[in-house]
Structure 1
Amino acid sequence: MDDIIQMEHDYLLQVYSRPDIVFTDGRGSTLYDSRGRAYLDCAAGIAVNALGYADPELTEVAQQAAAGLWHVSNLYHTAPAVRLARLLVETSGFAQRVHFSLCGASANEGALKFARKYARTRHGEGKFHIVSFSNAFHGRLFGSLAATPRPKYQQAFEPLMPGVRVAEFNSLPSAAAAIQDDVCAVIVEPLQGEGGIHAATPAFLQGLRDLCDAHDALLIFDEVQCGLGRTGALWAWQDCGVAPDLLTSAKPLAGGLPMGAILMTPRVADVMAVGDHASTFAGGPFVAAVAEAVVRRISQPAFLAEVRRKGEVLKERLQEINSPHVLEVRGRGLLLGLQLDIPAGDVVKAGFEHGLVLINAGPDVLRLAPPLVITDAELDAVVERLDAILKTW
């Protein structure tokens, strides 16, 4: 273990702060380190491993796919990408076209580009502004970073992409002031992840829909973290019934393999032409085959009902923790946040000593995003260990 950690320091760019743990294996909702110690995982690779670790079905699909084509590029047709696109359209509730990307940031980047192409095609020059919201996180590429109003992420890389306005999350008056005729797109997370687990109200999302329609701007829902079953609905927008023009997905999409997708309505797709956007690796046959299995599994009504039930159980158990440091429990499904009056990072560090993998969502919010297949007994253990950690303060 010490050799691996030293090599990490010697050879990898030091842009991450990692604990002195080397994970080597995983089963279900449990991770194992190089010393054989087990950890209940409440991070799921940052809401990625929705089906946990070493899932038998995904393993079988991946093994079969690995025996076939891995890559031919998007210059050619492959069956897995087409089947996955059809499945995403059929389960989306609003979309008719899909474009694949490599990650959430690149999916958001593509959605912003599509919105600018739509506005230029429909209205000519000048309608290029993008509206995002306080506490948002849309990625770290130049377009997505410009829409992520976090000085600590932005300042070292300025000047960023111009034309982004930031309004107050869940404030329709603020949104109305920002969304004018020169706006081409509004991008919002139905349930903010990195920003502290804040849910957009149905009235706010409906208001954004109305403002976008009034100004012929496109409404983009960033569901990279909150989508694909995480809230207990297949797509988080379905919780409030307000449909977007574009939806971005990534984290859990291919079960831990790198993949993103942009789902869109025909009016968006109709303005895009051959050569407007591309990616060498996106939607490759190997990754798409695994992603199809993930989406089919998660989209089953019984699976989603279990996520909703387990989310309610976990939320109730967390609210029962008798600690003065827990100020609020919020979120939906299995994306929950504990607002604390102590640094969340300290709780995350203490979690490793108690066999618990945790992540934060800002300086004082503890984020719980376990695999969607976590069991009731494991949820009980998570709460018991977290309760024991908080008692040490």
Structure 2
Amino acid sequence: MKSALLPTYKRIDLSVAKANGTTVEDINGKKYLDFGSGIGVCNLGHRHPDVQKAIEEQLQKYWHVSNLYHNSIQEDVAKLLVENSSGDYVFFCNSGAESNEAAIKLARKATGKTKIITFNQSFHGRTFGAMAATGQEKIQQGFGPMLNTFEYVPFNDVEAVNHAIDENTAAIMLEVIQGEGGVIPANQSFVTDLEQMCKQNNILLIVDEVQTGIGRTGMPFAYNHYGISPDIISVAKGLGNGVPVGAIIAKRKFYDVFGPGSHATTFGGNPISMAAAHTVLQHIFQVEFLQQVETKGENLKKRLIEKVSNLSLVSDIRGEGLMIGIECTRDISTVINQLMQKGLLVLSAGQNVIRLLPPLTVTAKEIDLAVELISETLIENEVLLYS
């Protein structure tokens, strides 16, 4: 049957019938261990019972009114976000791209300047401003001239950033771990120097936590590992555990910048999304839960290093918490398909990095199974490649 959908996605031959926890089941009844989490979205696993209960309870109250009226559940979610971040106020939207658009607008309006420095291989979304902020030519191809107020510099290169700064620089925007770019962590000294350069030059520091935030790396936000205090933080993905929601968290000094009429969205902070987000944050921002994520991540990386780091097909294993990249020496699309056939769903980051983003609720037994399947598949490909 001919699809009525525009072909904007290169879809994998899998049709999902249902999902629960870390398990996805297709329309033929085959079950898969999900180490993709909907691209880092279902941090508490599919259909977490407490999140589902919160959504169902909200459905019995009201679904939507308007942001012209007060919404107490927005206040509850915002409070949890600011209590666990360097920010003081929150704006809710619907996605990661929207949160980055809001961050860009806020930085320009607050500073009166227009230039924003971002990084090669970064990814900030596919709306026009977020696409222009993204340092990947393949994302921008075919759409004509980009906004010329973004400058891209090499990641982890302090001198390149320093050279790019001028009197019109409003902000530096980065992922402290590049996700789509290959699961590449920033160096500690690089991030420390960036924050210092921002302070010295009256430049804002924007950290894109769309993929890395909400417990993914074993802390509330990935920037916490670096001991910095961003001016603006963008979040989405894991915030709603599968229900669309995004946000920016901004410092107190921006309160009057985003006054009435300066920015808006019809569906931002929707009560159903807020019900999900409130439950998500109550679970994930618990110290014990985050410590478990850190422990699981360390175990996953350790097991992978033990099993596959000696293969000539594998050039690096890196990441933080339950965000791990296995860099290979060739295209890994075949490997990803083979893993799916064996019942393990993983992601790619570029052409040669296997990206692992399991639910934060994944068990030690499931980690062991995933490592065994990955090891088995990579060894099979190594034999084929060098036989």
Q: Into which bin does the TM-score normalised by the smaller protein fall?
A: over 0.9
TM-score, normalisation: structure 1? 0.95
Residue deviations 1:198-232 (CA, integer Å, cap 9, x gap)? 11122111111111112211100000001110010
Aligned counterpart for 1:287 among listed residues 232, 254, 273 = 273
Residue deviations 1:91-125 (CA, integer Å, cap 9, x gap)? 11x111000111001100100000000112xxxxx
SS of corresponding position for 2:17? strand
Q: Which moved more, 1:109-118 or 1:263-272?
A: 263-272
- 1:38 counterpart letter in structure 2: K
Do 1:179 and 1:211's aligned partners in 2 also have CA atoms closer than 8 Å? Answer: no
Distance 2:163 2:272 in 1: 46
Residue deviations 1:76-100 (CA, integer Å, cap 9, x gap)? 11111111111111111x1110001
Aligned counterpart for 1:352 among listed residues 314, 317, 340 = 340
- 2:225 counterpart letter in structure 1: D
**Hey, what does 2:28 align to over in structure 1?**
35
Distance 1:174 1:334 in 2: 30
Q: Does 1:174 align with 2:167?
A: no
Distance 2:352 2:51 in 1: 35
Q: Runs of 5+ in structure 2 lacking a partner?
A: 382-387
**Hey, what does 1:388 align to over in structure 2?**
376
Deviation of 1:268 after TM superposition, in Å, equals: 2.0
- The share of aligned pairs that are identical, in percent, is 39
How many residues are matched? 379
Residue deviations 1:266-317 (CA, integer Å, cap 9, x gap)? 1122322210000000001111011010011000000000000000000011
Q: Does 1:141 align with 2:134?
A: no
Q: Does 1:336 align with 2:328?
A: no
**Hey, what does 1:3 align to over in structure 2?**
none
Residue deviations 1:18-61 (CA, integer Å, cap 9, x gap)? 12211111121111001110101110000000000121111111
Deviation of 1:147 after TM superposition, in Å, equals: 1.0
Q: Which moved more, 1:219-228 or 1:203-212?
A: 203-212
**Hey, what does 2:106 align to over in structure 1?**
114
Aligned counterpart for 1:158 among listed residues 144, 164, 183 = 144
TM-score, normalisation: structure 2? 0.96
SS of corresponding position for 1:40? strand
**Hey, what does 1:97 align to over in structure 2?**
89
SS of corresponding position for 2:118? strand
SS of corresponding position for 1:279? coil
Q: Does 1:227 align with 2:222?
A: no
Deviation of 1:63 after TM superposition, in Å, equals: 0.9
Do 1:354 and 1:389's aligned partners in 2 also have CA atoms closer than 8 Å? Answer: no
Do 1:79 and 1:285's aligned partners in 2 also have CA atoms closer than 8 Å? Answer: no
Q: Does 1:324 align with 2:316?
A: no
SS of corresponding position for 2:302? helix
Q: Which moved more, 1:310-319 or 1:57-66?
A: 57-66
Distance 1:66 1:200 in 2: 41
Distance 1:347 1:64 in 2: 42
Q: Runs of 5+ in structure 1 lacking a partner?
A: 1-5, 121-126
Distance 1:293 1:98 in 2: 17
Q: Does 1:83 align with 2:76?
A: yes
SS of corresponding position for 2:44? coil
RMSD between aligned residues:
1.0
Distance 2:142 2:66 in 1: 34
Residue deviations 1:317-352 (CA, integer Å, cap 9, x gap)? 111124321111000000000010121222111111
- 1:318 counterpart letter in structure 2: L
Aligned counterpart for 1:13 among listed residues 2, 6, 9 = 6
**Hey, what does 1:124 align to over in structure 2?**
none
Distance 1:198 1:19 in 2: 25
Give every structure 1 segment of 4 or more consecutive aligned residues whose post-TM-superposition deviation is greater than 4 Å.
none
Distance 2:192 2:165 in 1: 14
